[in-house]
Structure formats: structure tokens, C-alpha cells
Amino acid sequence: MIQTTKAGTDNRILQEDMVAIYEKLSGPEKDKLRNSTILLTGCGGFLGYYFMHFFSHFAEELQIKQIIALENFLTGTKDWLDNLVDSNPDLIKLYEFNVITDSVENVPGAAEADIVIHMASIASPTFYRIYPIETVDANITGLRRLLDFYAEKQLRGFLFFSSSEIYGDPFPEFIPTKEDYRGNVASIGPRACYDEAKRFGETLCYLFAQKYNMPIGIARPFNNYGPGMNINDKRLPADFAKAVIEGRDLEILSDGTPTRTFCYISDAINGYLKVLLHGQFDVFNIGMDNPELSVREFAEIFNRNGKEIFDYQGQISFSQSADKEYLTDNPNRRCPDITKARTILNYSPAVLVEDGIKRYLEFLHINNGKLV
């Protein structure tokens, strides 16, 4: 039985998730991580929270040499990172770093990295609309600088985080959506800075993989949620979690009918690791393929579990955003076809949404609403 309590955190939910991620990796996948130096950009965000905890949690089992963590803290969180570094000072090296303007060659140990995970990008619509040019630059300029630096180095894996947003608002006949769907995306509009930057980032990855035979994996996430998502993130799961904690109504800023599938973070991270360790260029949808829930149904699950965990007394309410462009180009439906990831990567998400939301709220209850 794998030990669950280690330095960095004693939150039961997080510890259980770390073990679940590890146990769903195959032997060859674990072997690719052994004796590696791992460099992560955007390590202070939602996904970084789980990657950083996972690599530090299993550093001994995988004989990880070093974790090089880069973050500019524009929207990333620092308190939990400081705690993690303090508990693993020889393993984790944290640097304040801007992928757009700073040179990775100046980061100690970066040239020896075997694994590169590029997460540096704003993913919350509220924040990427505040920082649209920075969002473009992180996904294009920052990515290009990393690709140039590592093009002729011997990497075991390079992971680029694209997005399900590259599909835009798919026509009904393309839902569930496969990787070969070319998208219905607005190149001009409030979401274009994110959507189109991710699309061009994929093109860069494709070109560098062709020219330099780089082992680049592209992941297209579909609506992740769970521990590590800051309640001030402004995305739907965070908004609902914050409302539960503060005892406010679960406010829906639409008619509640748009639908999504939602993937719990441990299932998502397992999928991303499989994409990373695939060892050759390819692109994969990573998410949960069912059930496809309306925003209203998603709120109802938060309501039920909020009552149980927080003695929540709020209701579900409907309103309109003061922001006139809040719903502009917002996809009406989003549901992945994950057949490719299931078949090639043996990816098998298993956490039901009801259970995942309960775990997210339990995590927040244990931590008094914070990430540490």
C-alpha cells in the first residue's frame, strides 16, 4: 500500500488523489519519469497545483532529480507553493519567471530538463479578457521560446496545454467532438485572444515536432474542476464553490441551459501525464465524456453537496451579467469524444461528477476555503 501522508500537505482528499493518479500510470509511463528533471511553466495555477504536489509526493518512488518551477504570479498563487518548496527545498527550485520576456537558458538546471510542461497561460475568461495580449504572448511567444531552446535537446516529453476552446462552438453533428474537428471559432471577439492563441500554439508544436522530431504531446482539456482551483478563479466550479462557502445563492448568469461535461482533476492529471509520456507528436482530448450536464444541473449538485458538507442554505438563482460581452461566443455545448485517448493511451476517467464535486467541497472544508 502506497503511503498517503507526506510532506507538503495533510489534506486527505489531495493525498488520496495523488495515489489515484500514480496507480493509473503504467509501468513504462512511470519509467519515463524516473531519474528525470522536470520543468514546469505556470506552476502556480490550478493544474500546476496538482502537478507540483504529484511530482513532489512521488519524487522518491520515481527518483526525480529536480523540479524546476516557473511562475510569474500574474494570476498564480504563491502561498501553497512556498509551503511545498519549504517542505522539499532540495527537490523543488521555484523561480519568478515570465515566459514572454525571460530566457529559459538563464534558469539554473533548465538545460538538463528531460520533461517540459508548458502551462503558462491564463485560462479563466474573466482574467484573459483583462490580460488579452499577455494571454496571446504566453501561448505563442512563450511557447516559441521554449521550443527554440529545447528543439535539439534530448527530451523524454514536452506537453503543451491547448484547450477544448479551439473547437469554438461546434455544430451539433460534431458533438461529441473528435480531435479532427477543425472548429467553429471567432477570430475576432472577447474570447479570441485565448482560442486563437491556443490554435496557433498547436501549429507551432506540429511544426517543431516535424522539423526536430520533438516528442510533443498536445492536450485539449475539457472543463476540469476540483481541488487546486482557487475559489476566486471566476470559472463556474470556482464561482459555485465560493458561493457555497460564503452562504450566497448559486447565481447563474444565463438561462442555465448550456451544457458541458466536467472532468475531476485527478482523472484529468492522469490523462495529461499519459499525453506527456506518449513519446511522440499527437493531440488528445482529455476530459469526461458523460454525463453532459446543463449549468442548472451542475449547480444542483453543488447545492446538494453544499448542504451536506457546509450546511449550505442558499438557493439557485438566475441573473444577467453586467458585462454585455459575458456570453459572447460562449459555446452552447461542449462534450469530448475521448475514444482516441482511451484506445492509444489507455485513458479511463472514472470519478463521477457527484463524487468529484463532493471531494472538491470536502477539500475546501478541510482547508477553510484555501489551497493550504
For the annotated catalytic residues, the residue numbers are 194
DSSP character at residue 103? -
Answer for the pair 122, 135: CB distance below 8 angstroms, yes or no.
yes
Q: How many helices and strands (H and E) does the chain possess?
A: 14, 14
Task: Decide: residue 210, CB within 10 A, 0-12 exposed, 13-18 middle, 19+ buried.
Answer: exposed
Task: Decide: residue 50, CB within 10 A, 0-12 exposed, 13-18 middle, 19+ buried.
Answer: buried
Interatomic CA distance for residues 125 and 131, integer angstroms: 10
Torsion of CA 123, 70, 36, 90, to 10 degrees: -130
Interatomic CA distance for residues 228 and 197, integer angstroms: 24
Answer for the pair 41, 70: CB distance below 8 angstroms, yes or no.
yes
